[in-house]
Amino acid sequence: MKLIDLYEKLKAEPDEAKQLEYGQAILRQHNEEIYVVGVVKLPFQPFIRHNTIVNVLDKAPAEYRNYHESITWPSQLWRKS
């Protein structure tokens, strides 16, 4: 909890020189111990598309390049005749 304590001191300190010192201490702590939040995600998300439906993206709805789930809206789709 050293980072939180340093941050609380930084917020409460009125002296700018002391604030700079606390900020540098926080950055030194980050350089010594790198903090990373691990996130796990499936590499792909398969989906089923019927061959009579038109205007559906070729990529999966949750494809990481789209940055959005359900990127193909129902109002964009129609059926071949």
What is the C-alpha separation between 54 and 20, in angstroms, rounded?
A: 59
Q: Which amino acid is at 77?
A: L
pLDDT at 36: 73
Q: What is the CA radius of gyration of the chain?
A: 25
Backbone CA torsion sign across 63, 66, 67, 73: negative
User: Please, are residues 62 and 41 in contact by the beta-carbon 8 Å criterion?
Assistant: no
What is the mean pLDDT of each successive set of 10 residues along the chain, which is 81 residues long?
Answer: 87 94 91 75 65 73 57 74 77
